Amino acid sequence: MEMEECMNLTGLEISLVSMYAVFDGNKNENGKMDKDTFLRVLKEELPFFAQAAAKNNCDIFSKVDLDNDGFVDFEEFSKMVCSCACASHDTLEEAHKKHEQEKE
């Protein structure tokens, strides 16, 4: 992607690039996250979901590690992020409305 194209990214494209950057900055030499790294990233980047999983005694890693190889690859990570968005539609809608009101 050319630099000029990068400067014209939409908000959603920027979100996707940000998601990739989080994964890329935390993957190991095999292009995956181990359990400890994944749980740290979850706590740092999606604390609301990490807290909800802990509160519900949910082993989120085993739910995200779809192929049960002990690691989370980019596809699994992406599916988890999208699932978080789907599961929290109402919360995201409220946050967006609040953000828009603050801009006014």
Q: What tens digit of pLDDT does each residue of 54-92 get?
A: 888 889 999 999 999 999 999 999 999 998 888 777 777
The per-residue pLDDT for range 23-43, each reduced to its tens digit, is: 999 999 999 999 999 999 999
Query: Would you place residue 2 in the very low, low, confident or very high pLDDT band (cuts 50, 70, 90)?
Result: low
Other beta carbons within 10 angstroms of residue 91's beta carbon come to 11
Is residue 49 domain-resident?
A: yes
- Residue 14 placed within a domain: no
Helix 11-24, helix 74-87: angle, nearest 10: 130
- Please give the pLDDT value at position 85: 84
Range of the structural domain that residue 89 is part of: 26-102
In a domain, 50, yes or no: yes
Q: What is the pLDDT of residue 4?
A: 57
pTM (global) more than 0.95? no
The domain total for the chain is 1
User: Is residue 47 in a domain?
Assistant: yes
Domain membership flag for residue 13: no
Q: Is residue 21 part of a domain?
A: no
Q: State the Cα–Cα distance between residues 42 and 31, nearest whole angstrom.
A: 17
Whether residue 42 is contained in a domain is answered as yes
In a domain, 6, yes or no: no
Quote the CA–CA distance of 93 and 104 in Å, as a whole number.
17
Report the CATH number that the domain containing residue 94 is assigned in CATH. Answer: 1.10.238.10
